[in-house]
Structure 1
């Protein structure tokens, strides 16, 4: 989703510019040796440049010496027995990962795993699966890349999940919407500060509910701030225009990792990611073709989506097949199972509206209904890219009125994509599913909603939905409800006429969910980029 109003773009010189040769080769440290001072804060004391011993061969790097793993590491796909570690090199090399129960790696339980070759075909990204891990344990990990010589170690840590029968405390966070509306990294203003505030909450894992990049939003050199002054962006070639090529999408996924706040979070908080529209293009749907002068080379969404999906999978800590469905579930002990959805790949066109509309599609809907109904976890949390009852639309391009991008449309009985939700809620009612909570994003403000869908779906139980985001983008004013499923606004960070906020003003939002292992009580806290608790909802399980 994109709002039309944005902060003014100001053209002018930027002291923080990264050329394509430097950025895409992944070197962040070489220029720190002399002559560069203003950008030293960018990566914790290192900036970007071409290192000695580098030459370009037909667009690929050929390097000698030790690799430079300056992009940090990210943990993902964590279970009670395994995890995946991601990092990126700057040349062909093998990633080696060690894990231990001791931060000194002197404990009796220390293991080493060597990964496959990281090469140009995968943008020099590498992933290593760590098997046979102890459950419910804080582990320390470090990675290096081996070529002619070995790189320095890069450090991380994470906790494995409890076993399914273990009722333990759990804390996780979610948000979305990063580097939208031209908001990039300004080292003088804390880079990407919401990521530091999130890390301070020390969650067991983070669910990214989409728009982890804005492939369709270039990042300008600077933005004028309403109170005066400028937000001075780090700029890169890949983010100077919309993403069309595979390398463009790769550069967009790499861009936030230039911020030390992002790298610090990713080194200690495992990631589970889904996508929304801006990983590809605003409000996209399969089969769409468009005419937009910002895209001089490619007008087919399916081509762009395939490139975006490949780049996303290359830069996400998962070994799942990128051709396989993106939706999945994540079990975390006896108290929690999270179901992450794909609201883009199976939807019908926003317009022209077909006779039968889809948001999740038949297969995903059937999987979700059955998986949630079968779950033995106390809480079933459904992570979706878009809220159920908020109207997200844009002026129609094929006629009058609005083209709806989300689930909601008009007031009244469920229609269009809402019929999928009605079917889902009906199955939950038939199978007596309890303790379902939705976490969502997309609308660029935080909110707590309560639904009573019994009017639309007889027997359906009330449920809560929480909205978070943006993580680093413009914050918007409130969206209207569609009343089909009986929504009630409990709290929102924005009103109808709330002025747009930004990373500079701190109006960025994430949610934190805490589940008490003993009682099963679930507490949702909505937090801003300054780390302030804005709203708290406490839910007790219906057992």
Structure 2
């Protein structure tokens, strides 16, 4: 499927987007990142970062927004009929559920203060399954004055019975290698391409920001063209302070395409390395002169806090003024009805040092607690398809100097190091007869489809499975990388842009789209470039 009917149409759409963005965001000088209250005292609060919905299940959703100053978040949810019109209502009521009977749901959330960079979220629970909602989010200040109102939409996942198809997209790598918001090309237009497909949700496989990559006013592309960026004070250097990490997230949300996408498409995100710094592991001490803070644990704690504040993630506890920050578990299960369960991994928090990966004993990517959680959750899952969102690939060799950044160690033989942990996962899935597991990932800045089989592998105690790779969505392009033969991968497809290639023409930027047929009868994967041109298609059928 090509969402744009012709190159001319794509050019027209991008030209219009560029013109609109150019009138709203200047380049060549710093833009004030929305972070502190602005305007005269007593002015109406605004929503400088738009709104988001996330972690949407059959009965719940997380609603997120950010204010220009202190205020309390409120949400009103209107159930929609099949034509997208609001259901009749006899009046507004306060509730944590309902909605299908036409009564709006009014919810009051926490105060947004400087402690959370003026972000806040509401967990809406007890929602009816398979129901579309129109959302209104706003803040009230201490005098009861309402902010501007942000409008959005989302649909809860199917309930016990699934009669329709379910679609979603996934990608990774936003604003990397110095490629930020460029009004000349319409900003981060890959997000608009994904939005146009009207998916039920977006999986972001990590590198949601590049805290370690300064964004300058101009950048010379490999072919000599000049890339222009909108810039803010916080993106001018590597992020070290909490303010700078927060500024990376608020920077991305200056982009019209991202804000429009997040207002209409719920996000399920994980983090990877660039939310902190390149290829980091816990306990690392940096040797990079760009940093005055060399302790990675300090940087990671600040990066994690900023990431959690800016994500509509269900596991984050609401913060009240002065309460401090308490990190919550990033790995989690999002239940999407009888056809789909999404298992979101955290392959960074429990990661071992980036050695050569040749240890005889198991080293860590998931950690024992997460590994057992994943095996148990997959064993209990009644969904036809089990998607594992991994922020690092399984069999792709990702060098980090003389060490290895990912699981593979480039030796092709029996499992060693982190491969031993993956072997335990795969053999455990076989032993408990877990079927229809699909891995989705990003990280490597190209798209690919890999089939793993014991028939080709050095380690054979597992059932065949697929891994699909997508990204970048707005970063430099790289790859393709070598594959490690330990688990028998076969490259069914791969495509990469030029090394450090820019997002300018969209041909080296990628996302994936999945369509699950009613009753889970098929699982169709498309790898698509940022222009909407499908590069690859594969349809899987379930093992019963």
**TM-score interval, smaller chain:** 0.7 to 0.9
Distance, in Å, in 1 between the alignment partners of 2:27 and 2:203 is 34
Q: Unmatched 5+ residue regions in structure 2?
A: 1-25, 90-101, 317-325
What pairs with 1:239-254 in structure 2 (closer than 5 Å)? 239-254=235-250
Do 2:70 and 2:114's aligned partners in 1 also have CA atoms closer than 8 Å?
yes
Shift, 1:351, TM fit:
3.4
2:88 is the alignment partner of 1:84: no
Cα distance in 1, alignment partners of residues 257 and 383 from structure 2: 33
Q: Distance in 2 between matches of 1:265 and 1:75?
A: 10
State the secondary structure of the residue aligned to 1:283: coil
Q: Which runs of 5+ in 1 are unaligned?
A: 1-13, 27-49, 54-62, 396-401
Equivalent positions of 1:100-111 (< 5 A) are 100-102=78-80, 107=89, 108-111=102-105
Q: Partner residue of 2:523?
A: 522
Partner of 2:198: 202
2:23 is aligned to none
Of the three residues 476, 494, 503, the one matched with 1:474 is 476
| Cα distance change on mapping 1:90 and 1:16 into 2, 3 Å | farther
Change (3 A) 1:105 1:306: farther
Q: Is the 8 A contact 1:426 1:457 kept in 2?
A: no
Give distance in 2, aligned partners of 1:346 and 1:227: 40
Q: CA deviation at 1:70?
A: 2.5
1:232 corresponding residue in structure 2: 228
Superposition TM-score, scaled by structure 1 size: 0.86
Query: Cα distance, 1:23 vs. partner?
Result: 3.2
Do residues 133 (structure 1) and 144 (structure 2) align? no
In the TM superposition, what whole-angstrom CA distance separates every residue of 1:196-245 from its partner, at most 9, and x where no partner exists? 01101111111111100000000011112345542110001110000001
Change (3 A) 1:374 1:105: closer
1:279 positional shift: 0.4
Once the two structures are TM-superposed, the CA of residue 168 in structure 1 deviates from its matched residue by: 3.8
Alignment partners' CA distance in 1, 2:197 and 2:262: 13
> Which of 17, 23, 26 pairs up with 2:34?
23
Q: Which segment drifts farther, 253-262 or 453-462?
A: 453-462
**Cα RMSD for the two superposed structures:** 1.8
Please say if residues 31 and 230 of structure 2, whose CA atoms lie closer than 8 Å, have aligned partners that are also in contact: no
The separation in 1 between residues aligned to 2:139 and 2:87, in whole angstroms, is 18
After TM superposition, list the pairs within 5 Å mapping 1:318-467 onto structure 2. Answer: 318-321=313-316, 323-351=327-355, 356-395=362-401, 402-409=402-409, 410-453=411-454, 455-467=457-469
1:115 Cα deviation from its structure 2 partner: 1.4
- For residues 341-391 of structure 1, the C-alpha deviation after alignment (integer angstroms, 9 at most, x for no partner) is 011111111138675411111111111112112211111111101111100
Q: Does 1:302 align with 2:274?
A: no
List per-residue Cα deviations over 1:421-474 (Å, max 9, x = no partner): 111111111111111110011100000010003544445211110000001101
Displacement of 1:290 in angstroms is: 1.6
Give distance in 2, aligned partners of 1:320 and 1:518.
29
- The answer to whether the 8 Å contact 1:164/1:332 transfers is no
Aligned partner of 2:263 among 254, 264, 267: 267
- The normalised TM-score by structure 2 is 0.86
Counterpart secondary structure, 2:275: coil
Task: Give distance in 1, aligned partners of 2:27 and 2:394.
Answer: 43
CA distance in 2, matches of 1:168, 1:139: 17
SS in 1 for 2:138: strand
**What CA distance in whole angstroms lies between the structure 2 residues aligned with 1:476 and 1:85?**
35
Secondary structure of the residue that 1:376 maps to in structure 2?
Answer: coil
Offset, 1:104: 5.3
Q: Is the 8 A contact 1:75 1:266 kept in 2?
A: yes
Q: Aligned pairs, how many?
A: 487
- 1:413–1:236 Cα change, 3 Å: same
Question: What's the CA shift for 1:165?
Answer: 4.6
Return the alpha-carbon distance in structure 2 between the equivalents of residues 429 and 383 of structure 1. Answer: 19
Q: 1:327 deviation in Å?
A: 0.7
Displaced runs of 4 or more, over 6 A = none
- Partner in structure 2 of residue 313 of structure 1: 308
Secondary structure of the residue that 2:247 maps to in structure 1?
Answer: helix
Match of 1:287 among 283, 286, 310: 283
Shift of 1:105: 7.5
In 2, distance between residues paired with 1:167 and 1:434? 22
Of stretches 449-458 and 384-393 in structure 1, the one that deviates more from structure 2 is 449-458
Question: Equivalents in 1 of 2:386, 2:69: separation in Å?
Answer: 43
